[in-house]
Each structure stands twice: as structure tokens, then as C-alpha cells.
Amino acid sequence: MDNLIWGYVYPNEVEIQWSILIVLYPYITGLVAGAFIASSLYHVFGKQEIKPVARFALLTALSFLLVATMPLLTHLGHPERGIEIMFTPHLTSAMSGFGYIYSFYLIIVVLEIWLSFREDIVKKAHSSKGWKELMYSALALFSYDISEKALHEDEKLAKRLAIIGIPSAAFLHGYVGFIFGGIKANPWWSTPLMPLIFLMSAIVSGIALLILLYIASMKIRKHAIDHKCLHSLAHYLWVFLIFDVTLELLEIISMKYESLEEIDIINRLLSDKIAFTFYGVQLTMGIFIPFVLLLLVGMMKNRETLKMIMISISSVFVIIGVFAMRWNVVIGGQEISKSLSGTLTYVPVFFSQEGVLPAIIILVIPFIILRVITYILPPWKDMEEEVT
Amino acid sequence: MEVTRRKFTKIGCKVILGAAAVSAIIESVVTNGTAAENSPAGEYDWNEHFWGYVVDTRKCIGCGRCANACKLENDVPFDEPVYRTWVERYRTKRDGEVVIDSPNGSINGFPEDIPPEEVKKAFYVPKICNHCDNPPCVQVCPVGATFATKDGVVLVDYQYCIGCRYCIQGCPYGARYFNTEKGTADKCTWCYHRITKGLLPACVQACPTGARKFGDLKDPDSIVNKILDEERINVLKLDLGTKPKVYYIGLDREVR
Ligand code: SF4
Ligand code: SF4
């Protein structure tokens, strides 16, 4: 154990408190926020190119949102008391708003999904029999009005909801950044840029996930990929990567330039503890390589398959890079001692309540949920029509 | 609780006996007497007190009795790396390197692992929760399970804490730990069960040199106020604005 520690760490710090599960929490909420914002590009900003994936993006957001509380609850010393955060929130705590922000956002996402699928649900209710009819009727809330006028109203409402949805998605995730950014005890966390950095990396990870899921779904369904849509997503991914890298570098550069008391330990963190995951995975693999690849995609003509492969690689890299970013924040921040005179090492365990296994399970669940929801509510409306 | 107290009395006796070898015992007994008198037993009204703590680093000999007494008094497991109080050793070597350590929180004392002739300067610094007047741990607790009492003590409500450990992250001094048995955060209480009965915290009582002092800031004649009036004092991490109520005499710039 001793060789995991360098220098002096406070005796109580030997135990790392926030494990890989707490890395997952901002990662998952980030994917949610990103996917939702991607769908808003269509719903709010009327970007028609995004339309093919707009509804799918909402379902993706919901699937991940449903598991967002899991890593937190699993990690609590008293999960059964977790609900107190709703009943007696202590408002000076950045964490206390979680229950409310989460619930509010969940309602918005569900409503948004309901409105964009209502027409299909009603049609399904009419066309199916037995328990299916019952299920779809219940989903339709037994209101079957799908007249032109009603649908138009739906659309208007959906747009308004999405307009509220964007700031709340931004809030949901920016606020997660503040949970870390507001901790003055930890020089690696304490920066007002944290919410923005979290938000930008959330958006890129969400878009990248959407791209991958879209390509995978089309391959599974043996359906042609809408390249216009794909390129548009890739374009937004590229744009948000620029914001992301600007903020992330700004933070490091200003820390290094100002060289306050904590700079020695920060330098040690960056050059020793998280050198590989920070410079290697987060910056090079997660940002610079995708940035260049996507730039090339933007310049290339034709050669759709090659472009698709490049976009896919970029997306995989972005998703891994953002995970590394969460890791570097959550774990990196705990690998430096608050005595500023030492470092420690987090060694993940596989089988334990806070180990790698539960983390993997929690990461797999959203894909299962997504499979189920897309079965009940097929999001590929336009293509459905093409096929039949 | 009863068992603990009995156990503690036993240890307390041992500690006092052991300390007799140290000439400063007289001073410590005298101090203990006065501070205890300042808070008479009986009906305890928390509006009448506001506690403060002084550490005189010049007096600490690094014996670790305080850390031992604390674990015994408060049932802090001896076999886990968790401490409500501990002592740090700072050594500046001839080549200028500063070596800080606190092996097992000082419970078994300090081994002489650097030859004395290589050490230029050395001193000990006892550490404990600062019961900050502007406590970040209280600020960040999402359910209000960590709170400050009217008499200036920061406590954890074990029946309420959800075990999120945000407070452990929020404390800049490493004063908190996770109690695996209770599934909650835990920390120094300044022996709240003792001070509300007019007794001193166990660590203060156990210190053979009088390096640790405890008293009522609302009482102008308390030992703590006397020191604050006369000495040049400092607190840890002043710049973080936590307003600690553990005041240090002889705090070196190397101390974190
Ligand atoms: S020292 Fe730490 S645990 Fe104690 S009151 Fe201050 S912030 Fe809270
Ligand atoms: S661990 Fe307990 S006391 Fe600490 S912040 Fe969480 S709920 Fe509050």
C-alpha cells in the first residue's frame, strides 16, 4: 500500500472516497444532456437534417437518464436514506438540488417523447389487438385525437418543451460540474470553468454516442444511412469539440501560468499520476485526433464509406476521451492530497459494491432499456414508411 | 458508552502515570483543572458557550497519547486508517528537503528513520477538526446531516447521514473519514459528550505537555481566550475562509 503513496497525505486520505461509480455519474448525465441537446437541434432550431435521429436521440436520453441515479445510490453508505435529499434538501449544498433537477428533467424528457410519438401510439392502439392494444391505449392516455389540428398543437407544445429542455439539460449537467467546481478544498476541482467544461464535454459525448447508435441501428436494420444527417451530426460534434478543448486548455494554462501554491502538486498530478489518461486519452485521443478526422471529413468529397468510418472512429475516440476526462477529474482530484504535499493511487477493484463490475453493469443497462423502448416506440418513422 | 468511559478512565490513569515522567505534567494538571471549572456540570445550556481550541506546537513532543486517547474514548477503530486527531512531524533535512509524516496518525509514536545528524530542524504539529466557523463540510452536506451546534461544534447526525461522502471531499483539512460500520461520515466531536458535562476533550486531557488547550470563547477568563489575547496565533489554511476555531501557536510556514 505504501508504494501507492508519495510524499505526505493526511492520514484519513489513504482511503479514496469516490470510486469509479462516481466517474460514471457525470459520464452518464453527460450522455443524457448531449443526446437531448442533439435532438433539440431539430425540435427547437428546426435543423431538418437532424430529423431522422431526433426521436431516437430522445429515447437514448431517456434510457441513460433512467440509470443516472444508479451509480449514486449504489455508492451511498445508506441508500435507503437517499430519498431524504428530496424531503429535506440542504440548499447550500450543490448536491441537494440533484433530486429536483433530475425529476424535473425526467418529466420534460418523458413529455417530449410522448408528444413526438403520440401520433404513432394512437395509430398502433387502433391497429393492434389484445394486450398490445391495451398498452398502446394506455400510452396514448386514452386520448385518440390525431387530427391535423391536434398534431399541430402537439408540435407547438413539443417545441416549447424542448426550449425549456435545453436550459434544463444544460443545468442538469452544468450543475454536476459545480458539484466538483465548488469544492475549494480541492485545487484540481475548484474552478468556475468546471460547469462549462462539463457541459461541453457532455454535448460532444452525447452527439458521438448518438452517431454510433445511429450507424449501429441502421446496420442492424439493414437500412441505408442518411449521410446528410450523419454529416450534420459530425459537423456539430466538430464545432463543440472546439469549445470543449478551448475550455479544457484554458483551465490548465491559467493554472500553470498563475502558479499558485498548489502548482507543484498539480504538475505532479499531470506529469505522473494522470499523464497518460490526461494528455494521451483525454486530449490526444479524445479531442485532437477526432478534430482532425472530422475536419478531413468536412473537406472530402464523395467516398461516403470512408467518411462514415472516419466519423465512427472519431465518435468512439470522443466517447472514450470524455470518459477519461471524467476519470481525470473525479479520480485525479482524489489522487492529490489536500495537504498539497503528496499523492495517492486509486486501485479499482473488480468485484465489490463500488467495483468495476457494477460499473459495467450500470453501463450496459441503458442499452437494454433502449432496445426495449425502441421496440415499443420505433423511432424510425420515415424509414418505416419507405420499407412498407 | 459506559464501557468506553470505563476503558477510557483506565487508559487515562495510565496516561497520567506515564506523563508523570514529563516535568510539564504539573502545568497540564493545573490547566485541566481550570478549564474544567469554567464549564460546570449540571444543566448544560448551549447558548452560554462557544468553544475554542489552542494547539501550542512548540510544546508537542509527538508522543501520540492524544491520538490514542481519542480512539479509545470515541470507539474509533484501531485497525483502520481513520483518525479524529493525529500528529504530524515536519523535518527539514540539511539538504533543504522537507519530510512530513504521521505514521498511523502518530498512535505508535514516531520512528527515527532519518539519522538525527541529517536533520536541521524538526517539530510536531497536532491536527484535529477545526470546527470551522464557516465550515465547508456543513455547506456541502446535501441533507443537512452535518451541522454546527450553537456552542460552535460541528457534528454529524449518524441517524440522518446518507453516506455520500461529499463532506469528506469538502473538508480542506482531511479531518473527516468514512465510518464503515455506521455507513456514515464521521469526525472529531471535541468529545461533545464530555464537554457538555464540564469535562475536557480526551486529547486535551491526555496531552502530557499541555500542547492542547480547550476552553470557552465566551468566557473572557478561559485559557483559550487568555492565549488568544497574549500570543501571536495563526490558523490552518487561512486563505480558504473557513474560519477555523483551532488556533495555533508557533505555526511554521511548511505546515499544511
Ligand atoms: S475542519 Fe473540516 S470537518 Fe472540521 S469543521 Fe472544518 S471543514 Fe468541517
Ligand atoms: S456523508 Fe453524510 S454528513 Fe457527509 S455530506 Fe453526505 S450526508 Fe452529509
Topology of domain B136-186, per CATH?
A: Alpha-Beta Plaits (3.30.70)
Q: Nearest 5 degrees, angle CA B114-CA B119-CA B121? A: 135
Does the domain formed by B48-133+188-249 have CATH 3.30.70.20?
Answer: yes
pLDDT digits (tens, 9 = 90+) for A329-386: 999 999 999 999 999 999 999 988 889 999 999 999 999 999 999 999 999 865 544 4
Please provide the DSSP assignment of A321-341 as one string: HHHHHHHHHHHHHHHB-TTSE
C-alpha cell of B72? 479509545
What is the reported pLDDT for A167?
86
Burial B215-249 (b: 16+ CB within 10 A, else e): bbbbbeebbbbebbeeeebbbbbeebebebbbbbb
Grid cell locating B142? 446535501
Spell out the SS3 assignment of B56-86. Answer: ECCCCCCCCHHHHHHHHHCCCCCCCCCCCEE
Distance from CA of A282 to the nearest CA of B (A): 24
SS3 A18: coil
**Which among B101, B166, B256 has CB closest to A340?**
B256
**Residue nearest (by alpha carbon) to ligand 1 atom 2:** B171
CB atoms within 10 A of CB A270: 18
DSSP class per residue in A73-88: HHH-S-GGGTTHHHHS
Q: Report the C-alpha gap between B133 and A116 in whole angstroms.
A: 52
pLDDT reported for residue B19: 44
Residue span of the structural domain in which A105 resides: 2-387
Segments making up each domain of chain B, as ranges: 48-133+188-249, 136-186
CB contact under 8 A, A8 and B142: no
Q: Nearest to residue A114, comparing CAs of A65, A58, A66?
A: A58
User: How far is it, in rounded angstroms, from Cα B130 to Cα A338?
Assistant: 15
pLDDT in tens, A146-170: 888 988 888 888 888 888 888 888 8
A335: Cβ contacts below 8 Å, ≥ 6 apart: A16, A269, A273, A274, A343, A344, A345, A346
What is the least distance, in Å, from the CA of A199 to any CA of chain B?
21
Determine the pLDDT at residue B190. Answer: 98
Q: Is residue A174 over pLDDT 60?
A: yes
Contacts of A43 (CB under 8 A, 6+ apart): A54, A112, A116, A158, A159, A162
Strands B184-186 and A341-343, sheet pairing: unpaired
Q: How far is A33 from chain B (nearest CA, A)?
A: 23
Nearest CA in chain B to A15: B81
User: Residues B228-248: pLDDT tens digits?
Assistant: 999 999 999 999 999 999 999
For A309, the 3-state DSSP assignment is helix
Nearest residue on chain A to B187, judged by CA atoms?
A12
What CATH number did the domain enclosing A203 receive? 1.20.1630.10
Orientation angle between helical segments A98-127 and A51-67, nearest 10 degrees: 130
Q: With contacts defined as CB-CB under 8 Å, which chain A residues touch B144?
A: 88, 90
**pTM of structure:** 0.89
Q: What is the pLDDT of residues B51-96, one digit of tens each?
A: 999 999 999 999 999 999 999 999 999 999 999 999 999 999 999 9
Closest ligand 1 atom to the C-alpha of B187? 3
Average predicted confidence (pLDDT) for chain B:
88
Q: Is B171 in the pocket of ligand 1 (CB under 6 A)?
A: yes
Q: Is the pLDDT of residue B40 over 60?
A: no
Domain count, chain A: 1
Dist. CA B249–CA B256, nearest whole Å: 15
Q: Is A343 helix (H, G, I), strand (E, B) or coil?
A: strand
Cα nearest neighbour of A10 on chain B: B174
Three-state DSSP class for A53? helix
Tell me the per-residue pLDDT of A186-221, one tens digit each, with 9 for 90 and over: 999 999 999 999 999 999 999 999 999 999 999 998
- Under a CB-based contact definition with an 8 Å cutoff, are residues A12 and B85 in contact? no
Q: Distance between alpha carbon B38 and the CA centroid of its chain, in Å?
A: 19
Query: One-letter amino acid identity for A75?
Result: H
Task: Name the pLDDT band for B6 (thresholds 50, 70, 90).
Answer: very low
- Cα B214 to Cα A87, A202, A228, B70, B202: the distances in Å are 38, 49, 73, 15, 10
Q: Which amino acid is at A296?
A: L
The pLDDT of residue B22: 42
Q: Which residue has the higher pLDDT, B10 or B45?
A: B45
Average per-residue pLDDT in chain A? Answer: 92
Q: What is the mean pLDDT of residues B94-109?
A: 95
**Chain A environment of B77 (Cβ under 8 Å):** none
Range A58-71 average pLDDT: 95
Residue B38: what pLDDT? 46
| Strand partners for A341 | A8
- Facing residue for A88 by CB, picked from B139, B144, B163: B144
A 13-42 → B contacts, CB under 8 A = 13-15, 17-18
B26 touches chain A (CB under 8 A): no
Question: Can you tell me the ipTM of this complex?
Answer: 0.92
Q: Is B155 in the pocket of ligand 1 (CB under 6 A)?
A: no
**The pLDDT of residue A382:** 55
Lowest mean pLDDT among B32-41, B110-119, B154-163: B32-41
- The Cα B164–Cα A182 span in angstroms is 16
C-alpha distance from B139 to closest chain A C-alpha (Å)? 5
More confidently predicted of A102 and B7:
A102
